[in-house]
Structure 1
Amino acid sequence: MSNDFKVLIVDDDHENQAVISELLDFSDIDFDLADDGQQALDRITAKDYNIVLMDIMMPVMDGLEATSRIRALDEPKASTPVVAVSARRDLKAKAQWKAQGLDDFLTKPFTEEGLLSVLARYR
């Protein structure tokens, strides 16, 4: 993947941000960081991203609310793929999240291969 592929990492846990950032740096993928859903919304309205990696449980605005607000933006921003990054594994929650506008899921903890595989699906 080249630098024209831009990822927005949304997570209130700076350790999680650092892990994902390191993997993306190693793969030469451009990214920005946001600490909560409101920051994510601010960034996505100001800049185009190919994909958003969205934590679900965050202060200020959670990942589901942020995804809902992204979906309410004008195109093409509204159809930006949003991938839930969560430790939850239950299928019921994932089905609910999908119905709320999330495109895909990356379960924590994840491997570099798992992360890159999800990104490749939206390349």
Structure 2
Amino acid sequence: MNVLFIEDDPMNRRVVKDMLDVAGATMAEAAWAEEGLAMLDEDTFDVILVDLRMPGTDGFETIRQIRARGDAKGELPIIVVTAETAADLRDRCLAVGADDVLFKPVAMDALFDSIGRVLAIRGGGMML
């Protein structure tokens, strides 16, 4: 399994990478949205993880841009990983095209459950 994580905080990327390593998954890291969108053009991924607060383009717009693609990559499962806690956050994320939302700090079992769930729903990729 190959995961793309678009997240500006290197420590958050490291923690999630360490979790995915346990499951034998690989993770590509993008520090901002534009970098992640370029990586999406260049490689094949099974799941996209995206933070909401990043310099430049935020996570909501990043999800919109991915969903607006005219190819299969626009249908990849997207999981938001965020520290935001607004009451309507989950609904806002789902409305722009996210498949699930995880709240920081992310627990390994929650990460694996979410990835498994979105892959089962979207019908593709390897399960963790």
Question: Would the TM-score normalized by the shorter structure come out above 0.5?
Answer: yes
| 1:28-67 equivalences in 2 (<5 Å) | 28-67=24-63
The one-letter code sitting in structure 1 at the alignment partner of 2:103 is T
Q: Answer with 103-112 or 90-99: which moved more.
A: 90-99
Please list every run of 5 or more consecutive structure 2 residues that lacks an aligned counterpart in the other structure: 120-126
- Give how far 1:35 is off: 0.4
CA distance in 2, matches of 1:105, 1:10: 14
1:25 is aligned to 2:21 = yes
1:114 paired with 2:96, answer no
Deviation per residue, 1:39-76 (Å, 9 max, x gap): 11101111121111100000122111111111111221
Q: How high is the sequence identity, in percent, across the aligned residues?
A: 28
| SS of the residue 1:84 aligns to | strand
Q: Between Structure 1 and Structure 2, how many residues are aligned?
A: 119
Matching of residue 76 in structure 1 with residue 69 in structure 2: no
Task: Give the equivalent residue in structure 2 for 1:105.
Answer: 101
> Contact 2:93/2:101 (CA < 8 Å) preserved in 1?
no
Q: Which amino acid aligns with 2:74?
A: A
Q: Secondary structure at the match of 1:19?
A: helix
Q: Secondary structure at the match of 1:12?
A: coil
**How far 1:18 moved relative to its partner?**
0.6
